[in-house]
Amino acid sequence: MPDPAPVVAPPRWALSPWARLLRRPAHWWFVDRQVRRFCSPLELQGMENLADVKTPAIFVANHTSHFDAYLISSVLPPRLRYRAAMAAAADRWYARKKLRAAWFSLLVNIYPIQRGGGRAALAYSEWLLERGWSLIIFPEGTRAKKGHMEAFKYGVAILALGQRVPVV
């Protein structure tokens, strides 16, 4: 039986004022420019529906590539984007390359979530919601490999109902 994956502590420094200040120009340079480069023309529909969204909220998206993280982060209005944290698989992003995880924690405010970790895996997500942070979550739990959406895991529903926040 394989050893369970070690629990990875979320980088609380990513919520600090200095990280939030650095995130704005870094996001513009490394994320927004890439989205404009690879997704041009980009047509967005329904953005007017975000006008009344207050934080905290949970933003969900399907997940077919790692570029999805850049895309959803880039299209969210700044008032929502800079008060959001993105769940990332702890075993993929935090297991080996710590510098890469730190970079993406700064760039798009990722934090580790333990796949298959049960109720305990949601503790930091709940902590963020309680402090007014929104979440960006890919509820399939992995990238869809067959070109269609996979079944959603229950974490988003548990968080939304437990914290009484909207899901977008």
- Give the torsion sign (CA, 95, 31, 57, 127): positive
Among the listed residues 97, 142, 108, the one whose alpha carbon sits nearest the alpha carbon of residue 35: 108
Interaxial angle between packed helices 123-130 and 155-163, expressed in degrees from 0 to 180 and rounded to the nearest 10: 30
Over its length of 168 residues, how does the chain's per-residue pLDDT go in tens digits? Answer: 444 555 677 888 999 999 999 999 999 999 999 888 988 888 888 888 888 888 899 998 877 777 788 888 888 998 999 999 998 888 777 777 778 888 888 888 988 888 777 777 888 999 999 999 999 998 876 555 666 667 676 788 888 889 999 998
